[in-house]
Amino acid sequence: QMNHMQVVTVSRIVHYELNMLTPFKYDILVETPWMVPIVWEGTFNIELLHEHFQLRNVTIGLAVFAIKELLIFLKLFLETAEEYFMEGYRMKYYIFTDKPESVPLIQLKRGRQMVILEIQSHAHWQNLSMYRMERISTFSRLRFIREVDYLVCADVDIKFWNHVNVEILSSLFGTLHPGFIGHRRDSYDYERLPQSQAHIPVNEGDFYYTGAFFGGSVLEVYKLTKFCHQAMMVDQAHNIKSMWHDESYLNKYLLYHKPTKVLSPEYMWDKNLLKLPVFAKMDAGRELVQKITKQSLK
């Protein structure tokens, strides 16, 4: 299993000159208190990272669910991922869907493959998005572990705007939810019901992570999704519904299993909430498909 702490070997050191007295940026947090990077545009040199990751010849999996009505988002998701996600690397899309015949046929670039995994849509979950944790943990153990080095999990109702590449890769990464930047942690949308497996006390918490984009080595994603699935099952047995479904359990896991990289909110903006910044790499704003609303899906 690959480790993010591996020594970086490159052919020549001509990339840029570091100046110890000039920080990259001073107006944002670029490192967590447990000393892992918070990835913002301008804090990394992608050419240098390419040398490192191309030497390791990594394969990346991108798992996405497109069940029922949300299948309509898949086309834009795939088209923009082909343009911006992990360009130049071997990768596999793992598409979980209840309608394999309706998956849009997109011309994929060299070294990229699509794997369609049929699943049932009848799941008895509080929210269909929760079903992902069980499916991803099972498939990680049975299949993904043999096929890819890293696994990235994403919502389908997103659009890529800019390059998202190997700078995100690490044993375990989470992405900061743009809606909570600058907020105090006691106002984060963590699960506050003490009986819930997702409970986080008001005086705890690092960040509020989005459920729309996370990943890591297959082994670490397996552990995370397994935990979330099991915690959900315990709560379901006690008829406890969490605040934000799978996202609440994800936040619980990442609080006690610190990620080895944290992605800035540039990686999952929401232009319905906030104006799109120059460096936005992905966007969860749904106005691209106005007709679909959460209400109409229930």
For ligand 2GW, the binding residues (CB under 6 A) are 64-70, 127-129, 155-157, 210-212, 244-247, 284, 297
Nearest residue to ligand 2GW by CB is 211
Closer to ligand 2GW by CB, 203 or 296: give it.
296
Question: Quick one: tokens of 126?
Answer: 């509080």
Does an H or E element contain 143, and which? none
Footprint of Mn ion (CB under 5 A): 155, 157
Does an H or E element contain 289, and which? none
Contact of residue 134 among Mn ion, ligand 2GW, none (CB under 5-8 Å per partner type):
none
Contact of residue 66 among Mn ion, ligand 2GW, none (CB under 5-8 Å per partner type):
ligand 2GW
Active site residue 247: yes
Closer to ligand 2GW by CB, 69 or 83: give it.
69
Contact of residue 67 among ligand 2GW, Mn ion, none (CB under 5-8 Å per partner type):
ligand 2GW
Closer to Mn ion by CB, 110 or 291: give it.
291
For residue 71, which of 6, 5, 111, 116 has the smallest C-alpha distance? 116
Distances (CA, A) of 2 to 103, 148, 236: 32, 11, 35
Least separation in angstroms between CB 76 and ligand 2GW: 12
Contact of residue 159 among ligand 2GW, Mn ion, none (CB under 5-8 Å per partner type):
none
| β-pair type (90-97, 59-66) | parallel
Out of 41, 247, 266, 287, the active site residue is 247
136, 141, 144, 146 alpha-carbon torsion, rounded to 10°:
180
Least separation in angstroms between CB 291 and ligand 2GW: 14
**DSSP string of 53-101, one letter each residue:** HHHHT-EEEEEEEE-GGGGGGHHHHHHHHHHHBSTTSEEEEEEEES-GG
Catalytic residues: 247
